[in-house]
Amino acid sequence: MRNNQPANPVEVALDDHVLVVSKTDLLGNITYVNRDFVEISGFSEAELLGQPHSVLRHPDMPLEVFEDMWRDLKAGRPWAGMIKNRCKNGDYYWVWSNATPIRESGQASGYIWVRRKASPQQIQWAEATYTAFREKRSGRSKILHGGVVAGGLAGAIRQWLLNASSSQKIVLGMLVGLLLILGGRPDCSVAMSRMPWMYRVG
Ligand SMILES: Cc1cc2nc3c(=O)[nH]c(=O)nc-3n(C[C@H](O)[C@H](O)[C@H](O)COP(=O)(O)O)c2cc1C
């Protein structure tokens, strides 16, 4: 785990129109950065190209976020979530990040990330959540697809629902419907005591 230092408590505020874009190869080595990226990070294009993206990692970012991100990307799924990045001089900026796998001629060839200014609510949520994970106060909660889910059975069900295909969800819906219909049947014992002629047993 890379520990880039120093980390100053100085936030760089992003303008509303800023789009911080980069591309990487399949290993996360930078192959493209746009102008906003260079301006905000403080690194030159030459310093960034060919480097692993962890060159931007802020020490406050918990490992679990990147594990979640790589799990989605390697499975071919896009990922969206909050990232705190470190500038070259140690200042930091929060971004709402969208990462997507790139396919060329049917083959996975790398990833593209588009980041934009995060809202104060998103930053507040990420500060609180990531601090809890860093300080091991998150209990059984997990980072999943950029958000947080409860651990245990409830979390496992939610995780399954988030990953399930549409046909799996339809089958589940039908099962739940069936259970509701069966659960809604009249109480047979009451019916049998009132209308014994309809329920001849044996
Ligand atoms: C396209 C792409 C963009 C990435 N952008 C960032 C980023 O902005 N900041 C960051 O800390 N990690 C970013 N990463 C994740 C890094 O590759 C790395 O997993 C992370 O910094 C943790 O590195 P470490 O565990 O080696 O310290 C990006 C990965 C990809 C594939």
d(CA 92, CA 12) in angstroms, rounded, equals 6
Question: Is the C-beta atom of 57 inside 6 A of ligand 1?
Answer: yes
C-alpha 40 chain-centroid distance: 24
Q: Same domain, yes or no, for 41 and 126?
A: yes
- Residue 11: pLDDT above 60? yes
pLDDT tens column, 126-159 = 999 999 999 999 998 999 999 999 877 776 776 6
- Residue 72: pLDDT above 70? yes
- Residue 9: pLDDT above 80? yes
Question: Is the C-beta atom of 42 inside 6 A of ligand 1?
Answer: no
Domain-embedded: residue 89? yes
- Cβ(60)–Cβ(2) below 8 Å: no
Please report which confidence band the pLDDT of residue 202 belongs to, taking 50, 70 and 90 as the band edges.
very low
pTM passes above 0.85: no
| Closest C-alpha residue for ligand 1 atom 14 | 53
Number of domains within the chain: 2
The range of the structural domain enclosing residue 72 comes to 19-138
Q: Same domain, yes or no, for 60 and 132?
A: yes
**Of all atoms in ligand 1, which is nearest to the CA of residue 54?**
21
Given this model, what pLDDT does residue 126 score? Answer: 98
